[in-house]
């Protein structure tokens, strides 16, 4: 393919969103706008799904204040998708590269998690196969914190902060009503295979031990009898009990407690109401009043209480992705590598896309308490820096003012 000396960038977002995914977009875009080697910057609407339909926004034509607002805007400003390209789908790859050629794309950045890195890897491999000059880079993103090769993922710190604060406040509420009303509060967190999010609720204890008293992790099988005994113990001890439940907890048989009976477009089993299942067990066996909260989308798009560390690192991985791609590297995802805990320091590196796509980072055994119903000081030491500081958005009329891009029409 023949390109002008200056090449164009295509950036897109994929998978479940976070409160700092657009901060990574800002890091990449803001740096690219100042880079002489780059001509135009495009953003794909609704990830690969929209790109295949030719839906792109030319960022260079967007107002500066809108680009700056990306830094504090949660969720996906350009729209996300759950489409996973399959190797046998030759027509999609052909169509995709026709669009790359039409827009003279020399750099493709995909901001997502495991499945998104798999798609980015396939695109990189296809470009090499057909001899198309394309640099492909993955930008990490997931609140689940299960991406392989990186100490932690942008998005996790802010979700952890939101869940810890929510658990703290709900635990205080439950304690105040426990005399003759609610005895049990359950919060169901996201986390299909790894318990990082449920574990984050333990950070609620940093400023006083109101709860949680029990954390149910996917890394431990759910044993109903042992669990009920633990609940009874905590209620007798405290007068109440607050519990964090990961959506991905399983029975010893391997079956998800909350399996809804069907799969999503990524091929993952759809999960829901693990907290309600656990609540019904408590109600049936102990007869105690239980309240259940499912933060769901709230935990991943809480832009009003973003971690400063998370926001700054999200911006940095976008900048580093551009820097590495411009150096001629392709087929990697940016990683965050911890240098020290105190003081907290990190360096940025890279990991092959195919390694990220084919691995999952679980909670280390050394982070989990001996009885399996919580996490220890090693986890606290790991997670505490990630929720440090606050990165508040601009407020107007009493609520945050976020960036808004049209997601409906093709814009050249």
Amino acid 390: pLDDT? 97
**In this model, does residue 257 exceed pLDDT 80?**
yes
Residue 412's pLDDT band, with cuts at 50, 70 and 90, is very low
**In this model, does residue 396 exceed pLDDT 80?**
yes
Task: Determine the average pLDDT of the residues in 393-399.
Answer: 96
CA atoms lying within 13 Å on the CB side of residue 347: 4
Amino acid 93: pLDDT? 97
Task: Determine the average pLDDT of the residues in 394-403.
Answer: 96
Amino acid 263: pLDDT? 56
Give the helix ranges, DSSP H, for 239-330. Answer: 274-286, 308-326
Same domain for 250 and 217? yes
Same domain for 173 and 132? no
What integer best gives the mean pLDDT of the chain?
94
- In sign, the C-alpha dihedral spanning 119, 121, 124, 130 is negative
Other beta carbons within 10 Å of 33: 13
Same domain for 164 and 124? no
Same domain for 11 and 147? yes
CA distance 385 to 387: 6
Cα–Cα–Cα angle for 362, 366, 368, rounded to 5 degrees: 75
Residue 292's pLDDT band, with cuts at 50, 70 and 90, is very high
Residue 150's pLDDT band, with cuts at 50, 70 and 90, is very high
Q: At what angle do helices 224-238 and 274-286 cross, to 10 degrees?
A: 70
Same domain for 318 and 270? no
Q: Are 286 and 228 in contact (CB under 8 A)?
A: yes
CATH number at residue 210: 3.40.50.460
CA distance 148 to 345: 19
CATH number at residue 17: 3.40.50.450
CA distance 332 to 355: 9
Residue 270's pLDDT band, with cuts at 50, 70 and 90, is low
Least-confidence region, from 35-44, 161-170, 258-267: 258-267
Tell whether 405 is covered by a domain: no
Tell whether 380 is covered by a domain: no
Amino acid 264: pLDDT? 53
Segments of 65-134 assigned E as strands: 105-112
Provide the token pair at 350: 């890279």
Q: Which residue has the higher pLDDT, 254 or 409?
A: 254
Amino acid 258: pLDDT? 77
Domain end residue (candidates: 258, 284, 299): 299
Same domain for 138 and 207? no
Question: How is 190-258 classified by DSSP, letter by letter?
Answer: --SS--HHHHHGGGGGGG------EEE-TTS---HHHHHHHHHHHHHHHSSEEEEEETT-B-TTS-BTT
Task: Determine the average pLDDT of the residues in 104-116.
Answer: 97
Counted domains in the chain: 2
pTM assigned to the model: 0.94
Amino acid 3: pLDDT? 41
Domain end residue (candidates: 261, 280, 299): 299
Amino acid 408: pLDDT? 74
Q: Which residue has the higher pLDDT, 53 or 4?
A: 53
CA distance 315 to 309: 10
Catalytic residue chosen out of the listed positions 115, 118, 124, 144: 144
Check whether the bond before 28 is cis (ω within 30° of 0). Answer: no
- Closest by Cα among 258, 295, 16 to 163: 295
Same domain for 122 and 247? no
CA distance 272 to 281: 16
Domain end residue (candidates: 299, 333, 349): 299
- Closest by Cα among 213, 192, 197 to 160: 197
Amino acid 192: pLDDT? 84
Amino acid 2: pLDDT? 43
Domain that holds residue 210: 159-299
Same domain for 291 and 163? yes
Amino acid 200: pLDDT? 98
Task: Determine the average pLDDT of the residues in 110-120.
Answer: 96
- Closest by Cα among 158, 165, 159 to 210: 165
Tell whether 378 is covered by a domain: no
Tell whether 83 is covered by a domain: yes
Task: Determine the average pLDDT of the residues in 142-151.
Answer: 97
CA distance 124 to 329: 11
| CB-based burial label for 345 (10 Å; 0-12, 13-18, 19+) | exposed
**In this model, does residue 259 exceed pLDDT 80?**
no
Same domain for 142 and 25? yes
| CB-based burial label for 327 (10 Å; 0-12, 13-18, 19+) | exposed
Residue 108's pLDDT band, with cuts at 50, 70 and 90, is very high
Amino acid 136: pLDDT? 98
Model pLDDT for residues 54-81, shown as the tens digit of each residue: 999 999 999 999 999 999 999 999 999 9
Amino acid 376: pLDDT? 98
Tell whether 285 is covered by a domain: yes
Instruction: Judge whether 225 counts as a catalytic residue.
Output: no
Tell whether 203 is covered by a domain: yes
Model pLDDT for residues 337-388, shown as the tens digit of each residue: 999 999 999 999 999 999 999 899 999 999 999 999 999 999 999 999 999 9
Tell whether 125 is covered by a domain: yes
Same domain for 255 and 321? no
């Amino acid at each position: 393919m023949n390109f002008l000396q200056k090449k164009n960038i295509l950036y897109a977002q994929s998978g479940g969103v976070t409160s700092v995914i657009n901060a990574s977009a800002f890091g990449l875009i803001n740096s690219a706008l100042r880079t002489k080697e780059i001509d135009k910057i495009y953003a794909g609407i609704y990830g690969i799904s929209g790109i295949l339909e030719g839906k792109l926004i030319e960022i260079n034509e967007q107002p500066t204040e809108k680009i700056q607002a990306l830094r504090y805007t949660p969720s996906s400003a350009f729209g996300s998708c759950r489409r996973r390209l399959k190797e046998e789908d030759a027509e999609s790859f052909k169509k995709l590269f026709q669009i790359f050629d039409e827009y003279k794309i020399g750099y493709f950045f995909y901001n997502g998690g495991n499945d998104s890195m798999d798609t980015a890897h396939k695109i990189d491999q296809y470009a090499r196969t057909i001899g198309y000059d394309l640099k492909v880079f993955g930008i990490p993103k997931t609140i689940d914190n299960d991406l392989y090769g990186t100490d932690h993922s942008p998005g996790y710190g802010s979700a952890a902060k939101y869940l810890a604060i929510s658990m703290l406040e709900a635990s205080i509420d439950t304690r105040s009503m426990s005399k003759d009303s609610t005895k049990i509060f359950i919060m169901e967190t996201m986390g299909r295979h790894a318990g990082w999010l449920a574990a984050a609720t333990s950070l609620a204890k940093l400023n006083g031990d109101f709860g949680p008293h029990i954390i149910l992790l996917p890394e431990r099988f759910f044993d109903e009898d042992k669990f009920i005994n633990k609940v009874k113990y905590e209620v007798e001890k405290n007068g109440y009990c607050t519990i964090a439940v990961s959506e991905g907890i399983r029975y010893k048989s391997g079956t998800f407690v909350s399996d809804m009976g069907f799969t999503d477009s990524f091929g993952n089993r759809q999960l829901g109401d693990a907290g309600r299942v656990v609540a019904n067990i408590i109600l049936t066996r102990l007869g105690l009043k239980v309240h259940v909260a499912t933060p769901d989308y709230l935990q991943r798009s809480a832009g009003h209480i973003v971690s400063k560390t998370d926001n700054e690192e999200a911006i940095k991985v976008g900048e580093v992705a551009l820097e590495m791609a411009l150096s001629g590297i392709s087929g990697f995802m940016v990683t965050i590598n911890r240098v020290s805990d105190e003081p907290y320091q990190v360096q940025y590196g890279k990991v092959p896309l195919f390694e990220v796509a084919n691995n999952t980072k679980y909670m280390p055994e050394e982070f989990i308490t001996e009885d399996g119903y919580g996490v220890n000081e090693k986890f606290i030491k790991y997670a505490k820096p990630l929720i440090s500081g606050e990165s508040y958005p601009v407020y107007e009329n009493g609520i945050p003012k976020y960036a808004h891009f049209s997601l409906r029409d093709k814009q050249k």
